[in-house]
Amino acid sequence: MPHDWIMTPSPLVHRTVPGPAGRIHLVEQGAGPLVLLLHGFPESWYSWRHQLPALAAAGYRAAAVDVRGYGRSSRPADVAAYRMTELVEDCVAAVHGLGERTAVVVGHDWGAGIAANSALLRPDVVTAVAMLSVPYAPRGGPRPSEMFAGMAGGAEEFYVSRFQEPGRAEAEIEPDVRGWLAGFYAAFSADTMPGPDAPDPHFAARDGQLRDRFPAGPLPGWLTEADLDVYAGEFERTGMAGALARYRNMDRDWEDLADLDGAPITQPSLFLGGGRDASTMWLAAAIEAYPKTLPGLVGSHILEDCGHWIQQERPDEVNRQLLDWLDGLSRPAGSPDLP
């Protein structure tokens, strides 16, 4: 369908649907084929505020989920309740709770991992998958806790290792949620990230804090004070434990998903990454392996001079790529591109 976006989208609708852990909160807009949107850390459904109206105006039913542990969705107390297999079932429950049998799933950051594993574990529900910022890499290799511990040495510690220890990151973040989030977003945005000669904010001194390396200065260009208020307000209400629990299940996931070792995703797929995003750069080998790991890949695009928060930093480009890909899914092979 053409992308003139002349349709007037319907209003945003907040809904809760039942899920395995209780409730799943989501925000939907539009009517048509269902596109489920999954955010990453530390975000919420609001991360898709630029995509919801664009998808709706183009004739899709877009639904942005608060992932388990975030926002208005349920927050189980048990850390093991945030393992990947549980989050995949939440994805399925969201689709069914919206009265649909199948959906295209789009994920950013941790949401990309949930989308990928949903495609692997529930191909009956996920018909196509798009991954933003974090490339698909099949399950394999060493135990994650050991791998991430080996990424730093001496007096430094990688942020993922720090997040895996219950209570430790909460003690840093929760006394000043708004300030910490502002620094974290800025540290990984193209227009505010530290220069190449500055200490890497993915790491912290073992006796220090991550925020010690966050840039001081204005907010990133994509983030207004009002936007920051939305994010901070959610985490000030819920705390950080639910969001951080995802990092505390990486070894469980490695064990749970052993049968998927090396498994390719065969559904039609799309990858969008930021040229200045460490997730894209560190996983360059995973992108090079896409002919084997994503045999249904339709497109892989790196947005130059873009950081980690890709759909918020560069919403127009991301929307264009998503809509071209989505529209192509409904066209017969070999048919001409639409204007």
- Between these two residues, 14 and 8, which has the higher pLDDT value? 14
Chain segment 41-62, per-residue pLDDT in tens: 999 999 999 999 999 999 999 9
Q: How far is CA 220 from CA 43, 44, 184, 275, 282, in A?
A: 15, 18, 10, 17, 23
Active site residue 202: no
Q: What single-letter amino acid sits at 129?
A: V
H-type alpha helices, the chain: 51-57, 84-97, 110-121, 144-149, 159-163, 168-173, 177-187, 225-238, 241-244, 250-256, 278-282, 284-288, 290-293, 310-313, 315-329
Domain membership flag for residue 2: no
- Kind of pairing, strands 61-65 and 22-29? antiparallel
90, 109, 253, 277: the catalytic one is 109
- Secondary structure letter of residue 218 according to DSSP: S
Chain segment 263-314, per-residue pLDDT in tens: 999 999 999 999 999 999 999 999 999 999 999 999 999 999 999 999 999 9
Active site residue 253: no
Domain membership flag for residue 1: no
pLDDT averaged over every residue in the chain: 94
* Residues 41, 246 contacting (CB under 8 angstroms): yes
For residues 284 and 271, give the distance between their C-alpha atoms in angstroms, rounded to a whole number. 12
Domain membership flag for residue 256: yes
Q: Is the pTM of this model over 0.85?
A: yes
Domain count, the chain: 1
Length of the chain: 339
Q: Count CB atoms within 10 A of the CB of residue 10.
A: 14
pLDDT value, residue 337: 41
For residues 325 and 322, give the distance between their C-alpha atoms in angstroms, rounded to a whole number. 5
Q: What single-letter amino acid sits at 257?
A: L
pLDDT value, residue 330: 76
39, 108, 202, 308: the catalytic one is 308
**Half-sphere CA count of 167, side-chain side, radius 13 A:** 0
For residues 217 and 243, give the distance between their C-alpha atoms in angstroms, rounded to a whole number. 26
State the average pLDDT over residues 80-91: 98
Supply the CATH number for residue 112's domain: 3.40.50.1820
pLDDT value, residue 336: 41
Chain segment 100-158, per-residue pLDDT in tens: 999 999 999 999 999 999 999 999 999 999 999 999 999 998 999 999 988 887 889 99
Q: How far is CA 198 from CA 154, 183, 245, in A?
A: 18, 15, 29
Domain membership flag for residue 334: no
Domain membership flag for residue 339: no
Spatial CB neighbours of 150, under 8 Å, sequence gap ≥ 6: none
Residues β-bridged to residue 24: 17
Domain membership flag for residue 336: no
pLDDT value, residue 7: 55
Domain membership flag for residue 7: no
Domain membership flag for residue 162: yes
Please report the DSSP string for 54-115 in residue order: HHHHTT-EEEEE--TTSTTS---S-GGGGSHHHHHHHHHHHHHHTT-S-EEEEEETHHHHHH
- Residue 333, token pair as written in the block: 């092979």
Q: Which domain holds residue 321?
A: 13-329
Q: How far is CA 234 from CA 34, 56, 66, 181, 220, in A?
A: 26, 25, 11, 11, 20
State the average pLDDT over residues 190-203: 95
Q: What single-letter amino acid sits at 121?
A: L
Q: Look at residues 245, 328, 227 and name the one whose alpha carbon lies nearest to residue 67.
A: 245
pLDDT value, residue 1: 46
- Secondary structure letter of residue 35 according to DSSP: E
Q: At what angle do helices 110-121 and 84-97 cross, to 10 degrees?
A: 80
* Residues 107, 130 contacting (CB under 8 angstroms): yes
Q: Count CB atoms within 10 A of the CB of residue 21.
A: 20
pLDDT value, residue 122: 98
pLDDT value, residue 8: 62
pLDDT tops 50 at residue 4? no
Q: Look at residues 61, 31, 25, 17 and name the one whose alpha carbon lies nearest to residue 45.
A: 25
